[in-house]
């Protein structure tokens, strides 16, 4: 073999299925060899026995996404991907969001414009479908799926985004025909609206009441309904950002009956509770997200779901609204009604370190589950595997060298996002990426990003196997 570009020696390598000690040989941005190597390379790095895992795939994050309430996300495709890289993520999949009355194609074109010249790591796009017109269903989505936009999100809540059950069925049937993967935000919007009005009449509008407006029963009901619709159409779906044992149990029951349902959860449901929304003053707005954080008991159940395989994916759901200023959490005023606070918490950089520290190193998960949840399973589910999500010959040379020996208290000043807070401030951790490689290039050195803006590449995603064609599909 010709001389390699890079060899990373003396690595303690972990994938989703195995662990081994050896070297990683890289040529032209891809992994060329694994094992004990005697070949030469232009550059050699000694991992010094440190743990090495595949670069993360954050399959649910929001970057520079336009809104309708006047708020502005603090992270664009530059700051967001720098933060992702520094946290061990080498591929991100944010959302191109269709506004009602506009086309999905317009959203995709706008998102490519927003990303141009900025990402430091590779990226793909999910779609958000909020207006499934006949043209969207019959022309736009089939065309876009064929071009590599093979997954789309469906909302059961939020006035600007929610769809009726009939509209959801139309989209599920389309996904069945064309091999796309639907993702569903499962909360019952009518229940939320009714409870919000009840709370408002009682004068309960502070951030802590956000959790009361979205109790676990409405997540459970919507998850059950989403699963029932998917079962009717016979199409796989992913229930995203699951927060409670009640909703998780619906997924688990469906899986036990052989229904092809996938589950995703996020750091906020392992490390935050509804009590965080009750912080003094308006501070609780920092933790407003939907579904909201739940209870300590729910956290333990979510950990169990990660360990036992109920959840396939662990994503950040990074929604970067700053707390200070007038375009973030305070867009409706410094003491706004909880209904007017932009939803979401930052987490694109902390996702993998939190799970490594409190999952793997704390003994809650083995390292193979960690790799599967953060890299391999999302790459497979979204049509990026084996190029992404693994350390194997032929894959892109995306991997992380971990520092698991240094204990520290997490501070927002350490992070590289443009958000002015982290909800995990002060947490004691003992894992952080030391070096991160993307397509063989060392993009993070000693915790700092060294990559050139715009080096990230857009990745079309492969389709799933369609269930039928227009002639034989009963839902065509």
DSSP 392-430: STTSB--EEEEE-S--EE--GGG--SS-S--TTTT-EE-
How many angstroms separate the CA atoms of 261 and 274, rounded? 27
Backbone angles phi, psi at 316, to 5 degrees: -85, -30
Residue 469: the pLDDT is 55
Per-run averaged pLDDT (10 residues), the chain, 476 residues = 90 98 97 92 97 98 96 98 98 97 97 98 98 98 98 97 98 98 98 98 98 98 98 98 98 98 98 97 97 98 98 98 96 95 98 98 98 98 98 98 97 98 98 98 97 98 75 61
Residue 464: the pLDDT is 85
How many angstroms separate the CA atoms of 136 and 150, rounded? 14
**Every domain of the chain and the residues it spans:** 56-369
Contacts made by residues 273-280, CB under 8 angstroms, sequence distance 24+:
273/299, 274/208, 274/211, 276/423, 277/207, 277/208, 277/210, 277/211, 278/207, 278/208, 279/207
Backbone angles phi, psi at 198, to 5 degrees: -60, -45
pTM of the model as a whole: 0.97
Residue 467: the pLDDT is 66
Residue 465: the pLDDT is 79
Residues 6+ apart with CB under 8 A from 301: 244, 245, 248
Q: How many CB atoms lie within 10 A of CB 46?
A: 12
**What is the widest separation between alpha-carbon atoms in the chain?**
74
Indicate the SS3 state at residue 200: helix
Q: Going by DSSP bridges, is the β-strand pair 89-92/441-445 parallel, antiparallel, or unpaired? A: unpaired
- For residues 306 and 242, is the Cβ–Cβ distance under 8 A? no
Cα angle 414, 417, 421 (rounded to 5 degrees) comes to 70
CATH class of segment(s) 56-369:
alpha beta
- For residues 149 and 127, is the Cβ–Cβ distance under 8 A? yes
Q: How many helices (H) and strands (E) does the chain have?
A: 14, 21
Backbone angles phi, psi at 178, to 5 degrees: -110, 5
Q: How many CB atoms lie within 10 A of CB 138?
A: 11
**DSSP conformational letter for 344:** -
Size of the chain in residues: 476
């Amino acid at each position: 073999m010709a001389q390699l570009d890079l060899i990373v020696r003396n690595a303690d390598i972990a994938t989703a299925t195995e662990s081994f000690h050896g070297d990683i040989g890289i040529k032209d941005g891809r992994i060329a060899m694994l094992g004990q190597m005697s070949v030469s390379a232009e550059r050699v790095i000694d991992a010094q026995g440190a743990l090495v895992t595949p670069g993360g795939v954050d399959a649910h994050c929001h970057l520079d996404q336009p809104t309708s309430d006047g708020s502005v996300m603090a992270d664009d495709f530059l700051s967001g991907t720098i933060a992702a890289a520094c946290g061990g993520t080498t591929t991100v999949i944010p959302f191109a969001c269709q506004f009602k009355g506009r086309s999905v194609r317009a959203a995709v074109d706008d998102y490519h414009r927003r990303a141009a010249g900025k990402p430091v790591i590779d990226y793909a796009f999910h779609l958000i479908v909020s207006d499934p017109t006949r043209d969207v269903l019959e022309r736009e989505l089939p065309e876009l799926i064929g071009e590599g936009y093979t997954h789309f999100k469906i909302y059961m809540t939020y006035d600007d985004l929610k769809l009726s059950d009939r509209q959801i069925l139309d989209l599920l049937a389309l996904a069945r025909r064309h091999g796309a993967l639907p993702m569903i935000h499962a909360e019952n919007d009518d229940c939320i609206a009714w409870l919000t009005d009840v709370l408002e009449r009682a004068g309960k509008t502070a951030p802590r009441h956000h959790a009361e407006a979205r109790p676990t029963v409405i997540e459970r009901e919507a998850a059950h309904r989403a699963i029932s619709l998917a079962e009717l159409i016979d199409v796989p779906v992913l229930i995203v950002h699951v927060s409670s044992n009640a909703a998780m149990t619906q997924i688990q029951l469906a899986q036990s009956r052989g229904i092809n349902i996938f589950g995703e959860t996020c750091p906020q449901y392992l490390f935050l509770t509804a009590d965080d929304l009750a912080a003094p003053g308006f501070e609780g707005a920092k933790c407003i997200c939907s579904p909201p954080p739940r209870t300590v008991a729910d956290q333990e159940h979510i950990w169990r779901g990660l360990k036992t395989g109920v959840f396939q994916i662990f994503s950040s759901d990074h929604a970067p609204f700053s707390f200070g200023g007038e375009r973030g959490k305070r867009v409706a005023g410094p003491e706004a009604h909880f209904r007017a606070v932009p939803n979401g918490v930052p987490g694109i950089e902390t996702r993998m370190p939190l799970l490594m520290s409190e999952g793997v190193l704390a003994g809650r998960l083995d390292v193979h589950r960690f790799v599967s949840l953060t890299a391999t399973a999302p790459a497979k589910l979204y049509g990026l595997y084996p190029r992404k999500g693994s350390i194997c010959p032929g894959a892109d040379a995306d991997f992380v060298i971990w520092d698991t020996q240094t204990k520290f208290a997490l501070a927002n000043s350490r992070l590289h996002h443009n958000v002015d807070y982290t909800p995990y401030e002060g947490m004691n951790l003992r894992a952080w990426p030391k070096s991160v490689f993307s397509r063989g290039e060392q993009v993070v050195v000693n915790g700092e990003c060294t990559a050139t803006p715009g080096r990230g590449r857009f990745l079309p995603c492969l389709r799933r196997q369609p269930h039928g064609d227009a002639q034989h599909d009963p839902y065509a």
